[in-house]
Amino acid sequence: MKVNAYGAYAGDKPLEPMQITRRETGAHDVQIDIAYCGICHSDLHQVRAEWAGTQFPCVPGHEIVGRVSAVGPHVGHFNVGDLVGIGCIVDSCRQCEECDSGLENYCDGMVGTYNFPTPDAPGWTQGGYSQQIVVHERYVLRIRHPQAQLAAVAPLLCAGITTYSPLRHWQAGPGKKVGIVGIGGLGHMGVKLAHAMGAHVVAFTTSESKREAAKVLGADEVIVSRNADEMAAHAKSFDLIIDTVAAAHDLDAYLVLLKRDGTLTLVGAPATPHPSPEVFNLIFKRRALAGSMIGGIAETQEMLDFCATHNIVSDIELIRADQINSAYERLLQGDVKYRFVVDSVTLAA
Ligand code: NAP
Ligand code: ZN
Ligand code: ZN
């Protein structure tokens, strides 16, 4: 089946309209009419070949929401008309320890929603800047938010789970002081989620213009990280800091803010490495430097349900497909509050 999509033919070319092929709906497959797709900074890294190994043509997009339009005969949990989401994972080996533990995100055979090998044409997966997608039911998420919030739910599928998972793993909650670095797509979700979990939340931003805005998101305190005095006032006080910044920067500035046994968790995935941190900042106070990648399918469903219960969605700017290239430029300037979402209606011919 041919569907309209938006993608790039090379890393130095803008995205443009194209047609891609979706496989026929198999016995365990769910076919989804995509309503909206969020724009993650990972889309930009991948389609501009900032990360290694981009296959072209590349259609990004892994914050997908829409309605089920067909189901295979063996699909048990979904019906035509259901509101559903697809995040960053569309397949995995289904037999390793990670898959058995619901941690498909750490399966060596995980198939990402775009740019991963697949038997389907053209040989690598194509993402959500498109009209439809066909996915095995195991990787389909149920959306319980009201339909009116659907566009703003889309970013939960990556930005939401990528911050929810480390917040849960490192037990953010009452009595914990949690920092979120970089108040973009991931960071603004991190602030909302940590606040809903009951933590004392501190937002770190390079943008003076976000000082008040981050409080509206749920931050108890906001630090403009360029200001050394503001940073120093919080030395040795954090249990957990989640760093979402999409560019290389000095990690020591955050390590020294952790108290004993505190953890700095990196989720930002810049194209060039961070300078190696000072070892003594880890040795003193037994601090940890960690990373975290999205979340498993069960945890993504848990996050969606948590957000539905707490009435949490993303703050979005809805755009047409032909605005994706200019949205990327604005993303690079930090000029988004806080997630662009593509209205898939605008992909129609
Ligand atoms: P985004 O919306 O562009 O937000 C990144 C934020 O980082 C910016 O808004 C900005 O916030 C801050 N920042 C500070 N200095 C920056 C600089 N020189 N360049 C860019 N940003 C800077 O990006 P996102 O979609 O949240 O993604 C953030 C990173 O996480 C990306 O590298 C992405 O690939 C990665 N990611 C990782 C995972 C994972 O599984 N680990 C999942 C999704 C995304 P302030 O204005 O507040 O300073
Ligand atoms: Zn993403
Ligand atoms: Zn596996």
Give 213-236 pLDDT, tens digit per residue.
999 999 999 999 999 999 999 999
The β-bridge partners of 242 are: 180, 265
- With a CB cutoff of 8 Å and minimum separation 6, the contacts of 327 are 39, 319, 336, 340
Structural domain for 343, as ranges: 2-158+314-347
Across 276-303, b (16+ Cβ under 10 Å) vs e yields ebeeebbeeeebebeebebbbbebbbbb
* CA 182 to ligand 1 centroid distance, Å: 6
Is residue 269 lining ligand 1, measured as CB closer than 6 Å? yes
- CATH number at 335 reads 3.90.180.10
Residues 124 and 59 reside in one and the same domain:
yes
Residues 147 and 195 reside in one and the same domain:
no
Instruction: Tell me the C-alpha distance between 65 and 33, whole Å.
Output: 8
Q: Please, what's the largest Cα pairwise distance for the chain? A: 62
pLDDT of 334 > 90? The answer is no
**307 in any annotated domain:** no
Residues 75 and 216 reside in one and the same domain:
no
Residues 173 and 153 reside in one and the same domain:
no
Residue 299: which of 158, 102, 71 has the closest Cα? 102
pLDDT of 32 > 80? The answer is yes
Residues 97 and 193 reside in one and the same domain:
no
Instruction: Tell me the C-alpha distance between 200 and 285, whole Å.
Output: 21
Mean of pLDDT over the chain: 97
Nearest ligand 1 atom, CA 294? 40
Residues 209 and 130 reside in one and the same domain:
no
Residues 11 and 142 reside in one and the same domain:
yes
Residues 183 and 265 reside in one and the same domain:
yes
DSSP three-state, residue 319: strand
Quick check: 245 and 181 in contact, CB under 8 A? yes
Ion ligand 3 neighbours, Cβ < 5 Å: 92-93, 96, 99, 107
Is residue 224 lining ligand 1, measured as CB closer than 6 Å? no
pLDDT at 312: 98
**306 in any annotated domain:** no
Instruction: Tell me the C-alpha distance between 336 and 85, whole Å.
Output: 23
Is residue 242 lining ligand 1, measured as CB closer than 6 Å? no
Instruction: Tell me the C-alpha distance between 34 and 5, whole Å.
Output: 11
Residues 149 and 166 reside in one and the same domain:
no
**305 in any annotated domain:** no
Instruction: Tell me the C-alpha distance between 268 and 291, whole Å.
Output: 9
Q: Which residue has the tokens 């037999």?
A: 95
* CA 338 to ligand 2 centroid distance, Å: 13
pLDDT tens track for 164-195: 999 999 999 999 999 999 999 999 999 999 99
**282 in any annotated domain:** yes
Residues 207 and 223 reside in one and the same domain:
yes
> Identity (one letter) of the amino acid at 287?
R
pLDDT of 336 > 80? The answer is yes
pLDDT of 268 > 90? The answer is yes
**297 in any annotated domain:** no
- CATH number at 218 reads 3.40.50.720
Residues 8 and 116 reside in one and the same domain:
yes
Quick check: 206 and 224 in contact, CB under 8 A? yes
**300 in any annotated domain:** no
**240 in any annotated domain:** yes
Query: Which of 106, 226, 245 is the pocket-test mutation for ligand 1 (most atoms within 8 Å of CB)?
Result: 245
- Percentage, residues of the chain above pLDDT 70: 100
pLDDT tens track for 235-256: 999 999 999 999 999 999 999 9
Structural domains of the chain, count: 2
What is the enclosing helix (H) or strand (E) of 16?
A: strand 16-21
Q: Report the half-sphere exposure of 179 (CA within 13 A, side-chain side).
A: 31
pLDDT tens track for 51-84: 999 999 999 999 999 999 999 999 999 999 999 9
Residues 30 and 92 reside in one and the same domain:
yes
pLDDT at 349: 72
Give DSSP secondary structure letters for 243-292.
E--SS---SHHHHTTEEEEEEEEE----SSPPPPPPHHHHHGGG-EEEE-
Is residue 182 lining ligand 1, measured as CB closer than 6 Å? yes
DSSP three-state, residue 91: strand
Average pLDDT (199-224) is 96
DSSP summary character for residue 328 = H
**302 in any annotated domain:** no
Closest protein CA for atom 18 of ligand 1: 247
pLDDT tens track for 275-325: 999 999 999 999 999 999 999 999 999 999 999 999 999 999 999 999 999
